[in-house]
Amino acid sequence: MDRRLGSKVALVTGGASGIGRATAIAFARNGAAVALADADVAGGEEAVRHIKTQYDARAVFIKVDVTDAESVKAMVRSTVELFGALDMAFNNAGVPDRAASLHVSTQENWDHVMSVNLEGVWHCMKAQLDHMLVAGKGAIVNNASRSGLVGVPSDGVYGAAKHGVVGLTKAAAVEFAAKGIRVNAVCPGLVETALTRARFGDELVARSRMANPLGRMAQPEEIADAVVWLCSDEASFVVGVALPVDGGATAR
């Protein structure tokens, strides 16, 4: 086990599956204690059991609704009470766009996507910053998307939310860097997760070949490694970056 994160404490939202689960595992593998938060109790508890069994790491599951500010505050409070600190946070919880096209998107879809993917990140950052400002240090990584950097057909509402996440990230980065808090974002391209498979079905293989110059999907662990690096001291001079982890898709 790599101990480069030493005795640090990490918080991951949307940690029950996909990129969030892989990142919680990566934090634990690198020596951190992990608070894994999600609305999915069964998935979250299973992920915590896996972390404890495989890595003999300190880990706890916290149920959270990122659209509810009080639930988010309780999540951060519980993390600090259980582990004594909050050094790193990965704000990953998100939902897909339910509309196939912007012009058929509904108000319900807009509200759903924005409340989780953008407002949820805002709630999390506020609660995390409340603690980190007192501590005088910390690292926050927000999960944006390739859709937060470029226009992607069928991702109109999702892309608007993720562009917002990039904006929040950059604004917070320049405001709080001098206070010892680094804020960055990762912008994944197509990643092989259950959510991606459910969305694209039989089209997924063909999409993955065309998605980027590498001609394949990312694995969740590849995104997780980027998040861990951004939170580590190895990225101590990296502030306000929206880092594409997309196989070169945005370089075209």
- Distance separating alpha carbons of residues 115 and 110, to the nearest angstrom: 8
Confirm if 137 and 180 have CB atoms less than 8 A apart: yes
Q: Is 55 known to be catalytic?
A: no
- The CB density around residue 75, as the number of other CB atoms within 10 Å, is 24
Angle among Cα 222, 92, 251 to the nearest 5 degrees reads 50
From the candidates 158, 196, 227, 230, which is the catalytic residue?
158
Residues 6+ apart with CB under 8 A from 6: 31, 32
Confirm if 179 and 131 have CB atoms less than 8 A apart: no
230: its two tokens:
């951004």
- Catalytic residue annotation: 158
